[in-house]
Amino acid sequence: MELKEGCKASIYEYASLERQNTAAITGLYQDYVHLVIIELTGHYERLKEAGETEWSIPDYMVTTLEEMKPY
């Protein structure tokens, strides 16, 4: 999957737009949503700087996001 679209899709996979809005308005799951956005956009930037064109998430990151998922 293309880098930018892949990152966006992954963010929505772990923190849908509804979850993001709820976190922003009520604070519910705010820490997790923030973690998802920061980690995945940071990973995107590292891949981009390395010249990668395909999106991928390292296994350790998938494991962490899945284990920490509060919903």
- Domains held by the chain: number: 1
The 10s digit of each residue's pLDDT in 36-55 is: 999 999 999 999 999 999 99
**Cα distance between residue 33 and residue 29, in whole Å:** 6
Average pLDDT score over residue span 8-37: 98
What is the DSSP secondary structure assignment for residue 28, as one 8-state letter? T
**Cα distance between residue 45 and residue 43, in whole Å:** 5
Average pLDDT score over residue span 18-25: 97
**Which residue segment(s) compose the domain that 9 sits in?**
3-68
The structure's pTM equals 0.92
What is the DSSP secondary structure assignment for residue 56, as one 8-state letter? -
